[in-house]
Amino acid sequence: MGEFETLRMPRTATLTWVHPDAALRRHVEQLLVDAGYLVAAFDTVDEALAALAVITPDLCLLPSPAEPGDLRALIGRWRAEPRFGERPILLLGALHDPAGVGFADGALDFVRRPIVPAELRARVDTHLRLLHMRGLLDDRAAQLEASLRAQYLDLLDAREAVIEALARLAEMRDDTTGAHIDRVATDCIILARALLDTERAVEITPELLSHIGPASKLHDIGKVGVPDAVLLKRGKLDEAEFEVIKRHTALGGQALRQVLATYPHNTGLRIAIQVAECHHERWDGAGYPRGLRGTEIPLAARIMAVADVYDAVRSERPYKPALPHEQACQVVRDGAGRHFDPVVVQAFLACAEQLDQAYGESLMAEATQPGTP
């Protein structure tokens, strides 16, 4: 009986009944009261309209035919009020409606005269039960939506955790701090949004905006496959060693493509592959691993290239000092049309102050972390 019990209306329904004939009004009111309903009866539409300011009936019963202006006014008020929602309007009277109002304006059903009490009760009861069931369905839909949203957020958290773990694994083998991946993720998001005000706006899809941050954290995941002797070398790499370090782009792409084979519809993975494989490509074609040129380079990787260099120039390393924001901006500006997409550089310069602020906030957060000297 559990599920079926919910089909019973939980309380006594309130009805509004309007009719100018006092005898008929009292007769119908008594039939509805005897059926267990609370009835607010009025002899004019104006009285009913005034009452609707303070009561919210579950169903409205109107005469038909009636004066078109009166009927339309009440039905229009009923349908315009959000609190009434889909609550039903029934017509009582002659089926013929010479004024063309009633059903055309939002009434749902008709009760014939002379009145058959059983028919009146059945029609009213049916529409109230439908209203109640619609409410149950709406509530259930809201519960399911909330549940699905909670599950979706859980999946997003799980995705973020996996991405974070993989990114931290790569960073642990390098001489950069974990803050680097957080900063480039923030910078990529800022840059992508700034590109909405440029000619590249048509390429900035909702998917790119949603995934560029998390995807950028995996840009150096391929460094896991680079030998420590090369990856952790303090001095300048020789030509052979540089060829080894360059492999991290292909290694990262290969690893992520294997995951994509299992999850072929994952847009975030596709963007992460573009970033991992192509963030060292150059606008002039002199980059690696494939020597892509210009717009052959995926936009996500072009954004990442600027964010990566900006953060690297600003960050202190064992082999170089950190440069201030203005000099880092000049490095990026000088790379326009050679290293970087000039439109991405244009967007970078437009949001440079925001990037500088984000970098400062990152340093402050890093300084306050436990264990920071």
The answer on 241 and 92 residing in a single domain is no
Distance CA 284, CA 340 (A): 8
* Rounded distance between C-alpha atoms, residue 306 and residue 327, angstroms: 14
CB of 90 closer than 8 Å to CB of 111: yes
| 41 and 190 together in one domain | no
- Residue 99, pLDDT score: 46
Please check whether residue 231 is in contact with residue 223, taking contact to mean a CB–CB distance below 8 angstroms. yes
- 150 found inside a domain: no
Q: State the 10-residue block means of pLDDT for the chain, 373 residues long.
A: 43 77 90 90 85 87 67 77 83 61 73 88 91 88 90 76 73 66 94 96 94 93 88 84 93 92 90 96 96 97 97 84 94 97 98 95 78 51
**Do 198 and 345 contact (CB within 8 A), yes or no?**
no
Is residue 39 helix, strand or coil?
strand
pLDDT of 72 reads 74
Global pTM reads 0.64
166 in any annotated domain: no
Residue 372 lies in a domain: no
Domain that holds residue 223: 173-367
Sign of the Cα torsion 311, 313, 314, 318 reads positive
Same domain as 281, residue 336? yes
Q: Report how many domains make up the chain.
A: 2
Give the chain's length.
373
Beta strands in 72-167 (DSSP E): 89-93, 109-112
Judge contact between 244 and 226, C-beta under 8 A.
yes
CATH number at residue 305: 1.10.3210.10
Say what the pLDDT of residue 16 is: 82
At 371 the pLDDT is 53
Among residues 98, 126, 143, the one where a domain terminates is 143
Selection from 214, 222, 220, 207 nearest residue 161 by Cα: 214
Answer yes or no: do 284 and 204 share one domain.
yes
Is residue 168 domain-resident? no
Q: For residue 218, which of 244, 254, 193 has the smallest C-alpha distance?
A: 254
Return the CATH number at 106. Answer: 3.40.50.2300
Number of DSSP helices (H) and strands (E) in the chain, helices first: 14, 5
Q: Are 214 and 185 in contact (CB under 8 A)?
A: yes
